Amino acid sequence: MRQEVLQACRDSPIAGHLGINATKKRVCSRFSWPGIIRDVNKYVKSCDVIQRNCNKLPNLPIQIADIIDKPFDNVAIDIVGPMMMSDSKNRFILTLFDAGTRWPEAVPLKSISKQMLLTRFSTFSLD
């Protein structure tokens, strides 16, 4: 019976093939027997997928990041929203971060139309 419980809580198509901690939580929230934690640990660790993939680090080459020290060499831009409308009717925020100078900007926007973005983006400068 315990084996069937473990299979149902971890290996069924709707169970999610969980790791040890999530499987413990799922099994212990519905069932109880002496040694349940030991049984869950043993069951999950005996999984062939876990044995093949656990502790397997990808062999990736070390990557050296470029040194960014000039303005506008690397810029991150994002739009946050929609949010609750402000008193001045803004619902979005245009954010910009210049990695070279570490300068952040946040500009409120009423909309995210192409014209609005071009107008607001053109106000950023090196000053």
pLDDT in tens, 36-95: 999 989 988 888 777 776 666 677 788 887 888 888 888 899 999 899 999 999 999 999
Say what the pLDDT of residue 37 is: 92
Convert 41-106 into a string of H (helix), E (strand) and C (coil). Answer: HHHHHCCHHHHHHCCCCCCCCCCCCCCCCCCCCCEEEEEECCCCCCCCCCCEEEEEEECCCCEEEE
Say what the pLDDT of residue 125 is: 59
| pTM recorded for the entire structure | 0.46
Say what the pLDDT of residue 80 is: 92
Say what the pLDDT of residue 91 is: 92
pLDDT above 90 covers what percent of the chain? 21
Q: Is residue 127 scored above 60 in pLDDT?
A: no
What integer best gives the mean pLDDT of the chain?
A: 84
96: which 2 tokens?
Answer: 């910009």
